[in-house]
Amino acid sequence: MSPIQKGADIVVPEGDYANFVAKAPGDGTAVDASGITITLKNLSISTMPGTARIEVRETATLDTGKWPDSPGFVTLPITKFPAPVIPVQAVCDFRAEQLEVSAGDAVRLTWNGPSTLEYTVLHGGGATPAEGQADTGKFHEWKGTVSRDTTFQLSYVTGGTTHYLTTVVTVANPQFTGLKVRGATELESVTANGDLTANGNVTAVSGDKIFRIRELRGPYGEQLTVNSTIDVLVGNSVTVTDGLTVGGLTVNGDLTANGNVTAVSGDKVFRIRDLRGPYGETLSVNSSTHFLSGNDVTIEGGLTRGGKSVVCEGDMHHLRHYRGDGKGDNWYVNYIGDSIYLSSSAGASEFYFD
């Protein structure tokens, strides 16, 4: 008996055979001139190079009542040799159906190659396989989606060596989980659905460019500093819900303050052309008022003090003068200084305010 051959599953004595019986269905089948075909499936043969022999023995008769004493037979030699190495060039044409897509669009990759090889599709986080799509297997297509530019790599092993093919799919509107840009960057438009943080300056001053913002705040825990003149165009309002400190402010339209307006620091001046109270209400001045020398006060309406009218220089009034005999005379009087003088044919009578 020969030694066990490496890779053998069934060992038989040298020169002997392992027997397999092929039977026709039922009690037998007639054979015509075309003959019969016998297929051996899942037959294990040693992978070592050499020759394997198959001997086919047949027992047949034209008269089922009389069978031959011995079968006829034929021996078929099968030469065994290593499977040829698949050439690297056998795998080719790794490509995407569309070279550029929009974020979230479907992508289909295809390639050509032997079905006996196992392929692996490698990609970055910008690609997501479709439901049920494996990244490794004996297939020739890969389906999924991409959210940003992605390089796909196809790997396979032949001849004991791993080989690679690559293809790229670009995205017209990429989506990033994080982006860091160093140096100048020119973009036609940017949409940020989350927070946008700039550790440097943000400039939008070219031509008639507009910087739109809903709510302007300073850094966390710090005040907002505006180091420039601000021009609020006609038809636009400025609302300040808390304190406001500015180095200089020019308002070409209306300025409404629902809170206090204070200008008391140092020698600051509050200049105003026409001072009025709220619509339909009286203006109240709740402070002593000092009119400096060289400045006039003109009152076009009435002037009261403590609810009483104040008589001013040049005002004309009627006073009734009661004489000792009980008769009264009406006279026009003039207020001069702190006294009133009453003129009559009998001479002047002088009255003083207490």
Q: Tell me the per-residue pLDDT of 306-336, one tens digit each, with 9 for 90 and over.
A: 778 777 666 665 555 544 454 545 444 444 4
C-alpha 317/C-alpha 311 separation (Å) is 9
Residue 50 belongs to domain spanning = 1-26+37-82
Residue 179 lies in a domain: no
Residue 183 lies in a domain: no
Q: Are 52 and 120 within one domain? A: no
pLDDT recorded at residue 334: 47
Residue 269 lies in a domain: no
Strand pairing partners for 163? 156
Residue 11 lies in a domain: yes
Q: Are 167 and 124 within one domain? A: yes
Q: What is the pTM of this model?
A: 0.43
Number of domains in the chain: 3
Q: Are 78 and 107 within one domain? A: no
- Spatial contact of 118 and 138, defined as CB atoms under 8 Å apart: yes
Of 45-59, 82-96, 161-175, which has the strongest mean pLDDT?
161-175
Q: What count of other Cβ atoms lies within 10 Å of the Cβ of residue 105?
A: 14
C-alpha 350/C-alpha 332 separation (Å) is 13
Given a cut of 50, whether residue 129 has pLDDT beyond it is yes
Q: Are 72 and 143 within one domain? A: no
